[in-house]
Amino acid sequence: AAGVIQSPRHLIKEKRETATLKCYPIPRHDTVYWYQQGPGQDPQFLISFYEKMQSDKGSIPDRFSAQQFSDYHSELNMSSLELGDSALYFCASSLRDQTQYFGPGTRLLVL
Amino acid sequence: AQKITQTQPGMFVQEKEAVTLDCTYDTSDPSYGLFWYKQPSSGEMIFLIYQGSYDQQNATEGRYSLNFQKARKSANLVISASQLGDSAMYFCAMRDLDPGGGADGLTFGKGTHLIIQP
């Protein structure tokens, strides 16, 4: 069965640079979620979108923004990167409010 | 606000034994869902099992079952006949089930690191 696709899988950036993470949900899923997992931590919810509209907002820094496009894929834009932004970023997708299925994650390292 | 507590940072279990991973939760929402996810060392987050707050029966999925005790606000994961491949981090998570069906994010516990020994 098709799963959530995230790209890139690994990303290395310098401080103050920008990064864009992409997420392609499971076909027919209309909802995407973004999570950040720091080393040795539990995932923290950032933001979600349903039918291209922001649905819920968690602990997303003001330096980050996200959107969902007409084909339901989503992008997380991260600006003015800080060392503390180094983490595993997950995208998950679901059919409305059903179970969330996670992608493989993007490992971001900020130097 | 929702809160998930997993009191076992790590567990060692012999292969083929059953194992119970503890999870307690706190919420003021009358309708909520409880989830368990497995995270192997490779990093992916794998959905295991779901229990709705109004479900009358405990959820089961193959070797996984959820011991749901609503009055005690606990949702323990039971893995029967453990296998070496069960070694991983296990997260309990929850979200409220808004009647409007909003796409709310999950609140996770700190996780339990399970190691299955041969």
Q: What is the mean pLDDT of each run of 10 residues along chain A (111 residues)?
A: 95 98 96 97 96 92 97 97 98 92 98 97
On chain A, the residues whose CB falls within 8 A of the CB of B31 are none
pLDDT band at B78 (very low <50, low <70, confident <90, very high): very high
Q: How far apart are CA B50 and CA B91, in angstroms?
A: 12
User: CB contact, 8 Å: A52 with chain B?
Assistant: no
Would you call B105 and A42 a contact, using CB atoms and an 8 Å cutoff?
A: no
pLDDT band at B99 (very low <50, low <70, confident <90, very high): low
Q: How far apart are CA A43 and CA A25, in angstroms?
A: 18
What are the E-state strand segments in A28-105?
A: 31-37, 44-50, 53-57, 64-68, 74-78, 87-94, 101-102
Mean confidence (pLDDT) of chain B: 95
Predicted confidence at residue A96, as pLDDT, reads: 83
Question: pLDDT per residue over B47-56, tens digit each?
Answer: 999 999 999 8
Predicted confidence at residue B100, as pLDDT, reads: 66
Q: How far apart are CA A100 and CA A87, in angstroms?
A: 20
Of the candidates A48, A56, A90, the beta carbon closest to that of B45 is on: A90
**Which residues of chain B are at the A interface, by a Cβ-Cβ cutoff of 8 Å?**
35, 37, 43-47, 50, 91, 97-98, 101-111
